[in-house]
Structures are given as C-alpha cells and as structure tokens.
Chain A
Amino acid sequence: MIDIQLIGLLNATLQAATLLFIAALGELITEKSGILNLGVEGMISIGAVAGFMTAINTENIFLAILIGVLSSSIFASIHALVTVVLKQDQTVSGLILTILGLALSSLLGKNYVGRKLVTKLESVTSISEPTNIVEVLISQNIIFYIAVLLMISTSLILKKTMFGRRLEAVGEDSKSSDSMGLKVAKTQFIATCVGGAFAGLSGVYLTLSYVPYWTDNMTSGRGWIALALVIFGGWKPYRTALGAVLFGFLEALVPRLQTYGFELSPYIVKITPYVITILVLVILTIYKGGKTGAPKNIGVPFFRENR
C-alpha cells in the first residue's frame, strides 16, 4: 500500500511541477528580454478556458492545445503592446493582465462550468497504473514530454544560438543592443508572446489533464508561484525545473502526509515556495554579491530617444 502511495506522490509531484514549470519557463524567456510580465495568472486562465472550450466543442485534443496556446499568446500581446510599443509601466500592465485574464476567463467559461470533459489528455503509453518510477516517467501525457523538450531546447537556444544571445543582450542592456543594430522592440515583443504561449500550454495542461473541468479561478495562485519560481531558478531553465519539482513535491505532499498520519501545518507548507525564494535571494545577495541572475534591464522601458 505504501508503494502505491509513493508512486502516487511521485506522479502528483510531476503533475503539479509540469503546470508550474511551463508557465515559469515562459516567464523566464519574457524576462530575459527585459520585460517583466506579472500577468502569468491571467494568461494561464485564458489558455485553460480556451483549451477547455475547444476540447468540449470539437473533442479534438490537439486543436484544444493549439487554441489554448494561441489565445494566451495573443492575450500576452496586449502586454507587449502596452509595454514595448507604448512604453508603459510593466508592473501595472502585468497586474491588469492578471485581473483581466481571470475575469475574461470567467466570462468566457460561464456555460462550461462543471461540464464533463470527454476527451482528456491521456498517458502516451498504455500503463494506467504505474508500479515503479520508470513506469511513472513513461506514462505521463504529451504535454509533460513537451515540457521536457522545451526545457532542453530553451537552455540550448539561450546558450548556443544567435537568437538566444540577442535576447539576453536586449534584456541586459537594451541601449547598447540598439546601437549594435539589434531590434529591441521586435525581440521583446516576440519574447512576451512566447511567454504567453507557454503560459497557455500550462493552462491547457491544467484543464485537460491535471484538474479536468472548468470553474472560475481554476489557477488559484499557480501563476504567482510560477513567478517566484523564475527567481528561484536564477533565470536558468534547469534550475527552474528543479524548483518546479520541489514546489510540486510540496503541493503533492501536504494531503499525503495527512494520510500517513503526520501532523504538519499546511499553512507552513503553503508559504514554503515563497520563503524558499526569498531565502535564495538572500543567500545569493550575501555570497554572490547580489548576482541573482536577473536581467539588468528588467522592468525598464526602452526609449530610443533617451539614450
């Protein structure tokens, strides 16, 4: 029995981690370009509801994933428009994106609340009840493997490709990048939309697999944990993945500890992601002279005229 519970814990950890990781990875890419987008919670909601509505209406799971990803990406372009083109405050715009996304998803999803989803994202293999770690790892649904691929490719793109270098340059010093002939606005616009697309994928994962139905405020704060995760991960894909697994593990652990008979206050566990993130920041500040890995230009609008 303990085995089933351990396997369950592992499986639940991966599910919670996948949701957090994809959204965090998208935000990482956006932030690398120097744009801070606090709208993750709203973007996940938009992807979640769009994917769910498509899945109910068309019963086509791949179309649902595609629509979810696209809608969030288009939604994120509002932030890009406001901050990159119109040079407005990124914090305010991001917060508005969160509020707008939650409200809009409630409105769109009104007639979908509590409806049964027939076409869910199923495991890629036919193992319905995994009995060991390997089976758990090979019996996830397609988005989990996409997430792994995204982790590896994002890391490679950031480190090895010209596009990655340019992205980083823009985020570190947009003025110099501009003088060097890089297209700052275009790069930032694309990075913001890519971040939105990732958040959308995370939303689709939520409503088509992890919690397969629709109701208002489905995300219940996961977007904010994803934001904390980017800081925890020091803007590095692998470390962000590690953080996602850690935070996901905590989420999966809370109810299971109770079934094991342990008494641990869930309140403490719930604040842990944030406490750990602050600790990481403090430790980096002390030992690495404040080098948290944050792009230097983050949150600063780029005005060519102000050089």
Chain B
Amino acid sequence: MSSHIKSILFAVVLSIVCGSLLTLASTGLREYQLKNIALDKQKNILKSIGLIEDKKAPSLKTVSGLYADYIKEMWIDFQGKLVPKEKKGENDLPVYFYVKQEKIQAYIIPVHSRGLWGKIAGYLAIKNDGTTISGFTVYSHQETPGLGGEIEKDWFQKNFAGKKILDDKGNFVSITIAKGAVQGRIPTSKHKNFVDGISGASMTGKFLSAGLKRTLIEYEPLSERFRKNEIK
C-alpha cells in the first residue's frame, strides 16, 4: 500500500513542479510571442499586396517601416462607409488600405474561414477597381501538412493574383477554389473566377471557398463603392 501512496505522491509533486515551470515560461515569454504575432500579421498584409516577397525574409525594421508608410487601418460599417478607429461600432468590419501617392491602390480584408481541421485565417487584397484580386495570404491554419497545408504555400497563393470576383456581366460570384486544376475542368469564360485547387485537399478547398465567399459578401458594400469610384 505504501508504494502506491509513494507513486501517487510522486506523480502529484511532479505535476505541480512541471506545471508551474510551464506557467512561468508561458507568462514570461508571452510578450515576445505577441509581438511576433503582430509583426507576422503586418508581414502578411504587406505580402498580400506584393510589397514584400516570401522568398526574401525581410528584416523586422523593413516590415514595420513599410507597414507604417503604406498601410492605413480603417473600419467600415454595414453600408461600406468608412469609420475611424475611435468611432467604430460593434458590427463594423476592419479593413486595411494600401495607400501610395495619396491614392488608395488596394484594400485588404481579413479572411476567417473554417478549414477541415480548424480555422483558417488570412488576408485577401483587392485592387481599387473593386473587382481584381491582387493577392491572398494565409497566416494561420491547422490543415494537414502536405495536403490542405499547401494553402500557405506560394504556388497556391500566387494563383489568386489577377483573378476577379465578378463574372462577365458584372455580377458578384466570389472566387472559388476548383477541385484540382482549373484548366480543362472549368469553362474558359469562368477561368477568372476560379483558382487551382490542391489535389488531396478538396475539403479544405471547399471550406475555404465558402469562407472567402462569406467574407466577400460582407465586404460587398465597400467593393461596390470602389467600383463606383466613390473612394479614392
């Protein structure tokens, strides 16, 4: 009996020691981790409009410098009207503007989507015509590495650049991830609304397409205003 008590006691003491060590490490390092996450966010926003490339790892200074120079954080209400950060209401949506030479070149919207295993988070940048996608990035996901996980790779994200969220007649159709390659599967007239999918990851594609559509619908009032040239 005493050996059992000894085992239990040992286990309890060990758990307490290990647990408190981890708590210490986690609280002590949180500040650095949050800083990294914030920086990673800025980096992804810059990446979605092609200001930095994935290949070259930019220094921390370039990232925050570029971000401060070109990116303006704003909020929009349900009508697509701009709201300054201080006055934002509960249902207002965040949006980032890429401002160069006093003119908005593109607007960047955060995308939150369901994935196969967890949430997918990224940014979608749309040019100031309100139709053409200028870039897409994913900064956090839980998809299977090598399959759905490919959504974080360059080859997948590059396909988004230049695609449109409107069809030939000017109706909103969102952007869809095809099941496999676009070539041969999708009619040529719709090529501009589809991007190549990932083989072995149809579900990830399906969920991400739905997430993109939902997000784009939410931001449609803003896109509408860009199309009508109401925002410069």
Q: Do A and B come from one complex?
A: no
Q: What residues make up the interface of A, taking CB atoms closer than 8 Å to B?
A: none
Residues of B within 8 A of A (CB): none
